[in-house]
Structure 1
C-alpha cells in the first residue's frame, strides 16, 4: 500500500513539474514592466523578451497562436504585418509546417516555427484556395509559396508532387540569382520552393520554375 502511495506521489509530482515547465517556457505574448512583449525561449539564450511597439490599451491577443492586433494592424509575434486588416484577419490553413492566413487586403504565408510572414504576391483573398504545398491559386493565377506563377489557365492547375522544403529569401538575394525577368518587380522578401511539381495542360513547373512551355 505504501509503495503504491509513493509511486502515485512521484507521478503527481512529475506531472506538476512538467505542467509548470510547459506553461513557464511556452512562447507567447506577455505584458510586463508596462510593455507588451513576445517572449520566446531557446536553449542557448534562454528566455528572450521581444518588445512590441504598440499602445498597450489597444493591444489584444488573438485566438490564433502567435498573432495579436491593435486598432489598425495585425502582429505576428513581435512584428507588425504591414497592410493587414485586423477586423477581417483569419487563419485559413494550418496543415503541415507552412500555414496560410488572409484578410480583406492580402493573403499571407508563414512558417509555424519561424519569425517571418510573407504576402502571397498579388493574391486575391476572396477567391484564394490552398492546394498541396507549395502551391495555391485564386481566380487569376497560381502561386508557389508567395510567388505568382503567371499560369496560362488557372482552372487547369494541378499539383503533381508536394514540396519537401522551401527557401526564405530577401528580395535582393532572390533577384540576385539566376531568375526570370518577370520577377523583377518584387520589392519584398519571399518564400518559395525549387521542389514540388505542378502543371496545366500547357505549362509545367518544378517549384516556381517554368520547365516546359507548350504554348
Structure 2
C-alpha cells in the first residue's frame, strides 16, 4: 500500500547499483541482517530512497557519502579557527530522520498487521539489562537486542527513540514485517522466529548517505 509522504518523493533506484551496497550493510549486521540475506530473494522487490526537492540527484548512487542534501546556513556569524587561520560559517546538515519516522508511523497505521523491528547492533543483552526502552519494547536473541513497534504502540517519539539507539555509525537496519508475536516468551527470540520474521518482511530499510538518508527495499 502506497504511503503518502510530505516534502519528499520516492526515487526508484537501479537494482544493480543499489544491491551491492545493500548486501554489504546486511553482511555487517547481526542475526536478523544475515537471515534477511539468506531468506529473501531481493530480486523479488525493488530499491528506492526518499528525496526532498533540494536533493542533488546526481549523487543518489554515492551511498557511502554525504552531500546528497545541501546543508543549510543556520545564520550564525563566521567562526574563526585558529589552527586553520581562517573563518567558516556553521552549516546544519539536513537528514531524513523525521521523514523516516513519519513513513514508519504511517505504514503501521495503514497496515494494521505490520510490525516494525529495529536491530540494535551496539547493545548487548544480559540478565541485568534494565534499559527502559528495552524493558518496554525490547526483544533479544542470545546477546543481540531488537526493538518492536506495532500499530497499538506506535508513536512518533517511540520511533525516534528506537531509531536513535539503533543507529550505529556504520549500520542501521529496520524492517516492516507481518508476523504474530504472541508466541514470544520473556522477550526471547528464537532463530525459527527470526526466519519467520524475514520470510514475511515487506520492507527493509538501511542507513545510507553518511547518515543523511536511507535505502529501502520493498517486496513487489
TM-score by length of 2: 0.25
The answer to which structure, 1 or 2, has the higher relative contact order (CA under 8 A, 6+ apart) is 2
TM-score by length of 1: 0.25
